[in-house]
Amino acid sequence: MSNSVISVISRFLEEYTTKTSNKLKVVDAYLFYILLTGALQFLYCLLVGTFPFNSFLAGFISCVGAFILGVCLRIQINPDNKGDFLTISQERAFADFLLAHTVLHLVVINFIG
């Protein structure tokens, strides 16, 4: 059982490192960073408590929102998905990413207190 899991994981990692383009890996690194930040915030909340609750929510939602927008960007600039996004060029995807982030930051800063 564990054998198959390990083999699946190692196969996945091998395919990932060879098949994915550099551009996507850059975005993936960014996504990983966001994920870690969010997880650490959640860990703090579990351990120490939710004292400035609004600040915790602001930070956590910022991570979650950024992650989602990053995932959207990744989907839209992946050349394999070009067929699904005929009207959206890579530049357009990036511009949408920036605009959505502006709105997200506005909301987060408003809530951070």
Partner 1 sequence: MCNGCVFCLVLLTVALGAQALTPSHHLSLSDVDRLKGLLSQPFTDLASAYYSIVGLSKLGASVDACQFLKAQLDPMSVDSLFFAAEASQAIADCEMPVFNETRDILLAAVSEDSTVTQIFRAVSALSSLGLPLASQEVVAALVARIAKEDNVLAITTALQTATRLSQQAELGGILEEIEDLAARLDDLGGVYLQFEEGLEATALFVTAAYTLSDHADTEPPLKEDQVIQLVNSVFSKKSWDSRSEAFSVACAAAALSSNRFHVPVIVSTQGPATVSHSQPILHLLVTDILSNPLASANLLVESAQAVASKSVVLSQAPFSLRNGIFELNFMASQPASGYYQFTVAVTGDSRLVANQVELKVKVSTEVAVTNMDLSVVDKDQSIGTKTSRVDYPFKAKGSFTADSHQNFAMNFQLVDANTGVELTPHQTFVRFHNQKTGQEVVFVAEPDSKNLYKFELDTAERKSEFDSMSGTYVLHLIVGDATLENPILWNVADVVLKFLDEEAPAAIQSKTLYMPKPDIQHLFREPEKKPPTVVSNTFTALVLSPFLLLLILWFKLGANISNFSLSPSSVLFHVGHACMLGLMYVYWTHLNMFQTLKYLAIIGSLTFLAGNRMLAQKAVKRYGQSSTLTFFTRSTCEN
Q: Contact positions toward partner 1, by CB under 8 A?
A: 22, 25-26, 29-30, 32-33, 36-37, 40-41, 44, 48-49, 51, 59, 89-92, 94-95, 98, 102, 105-106, 109-110, 112
Closer of 6 and 98 to partner 1 (Cβ): 98
Buried b / exposed e over 46-62, threshold 16 CB at 10 Å, is: eeeeeeeeeebbbbbeb
Closer of 8 and 25 to partner 1 (Cβ): 25
What is the phi/psi pair of residue 90, to 5°? -65, -40
CA distances (Å), origin 21, targets 18, 24, 74, 79, 99: 8, 6, 11, 10, 25
C-beta separation of 112 from 55 below 8 A: yes
Min separation Cβ 108 and partner 1, Å: 8
Closer of 7 and 50 to partner 1 (Cβ): 50
Min separation Cβ 112 and partner 1, Å: 6
